[in-house]
Structure 1
Amino acid sequence: MSDDLPQDKPLFDRRMLEALVCPLTQAVLTYDAERQELVSKAAKLAYPIRGGIPILLADEARPLD
Structure 2
Amino acid sequence: MVERLQQTLGAALEKLNPEAVPVAGLDVFYTLHFGVYDGNVNKTYEMKFKVVGKGRFEYVKDSYKAL
Task: Give TM-score scaled by structure 2 length.
Answer: 0.30
Higher share of residues assigned helix:
2
Higher share of residues assigned strand:
2
**RCO higher in 1 or 2 (8 Å CA, sep ≥ 6)?**
2
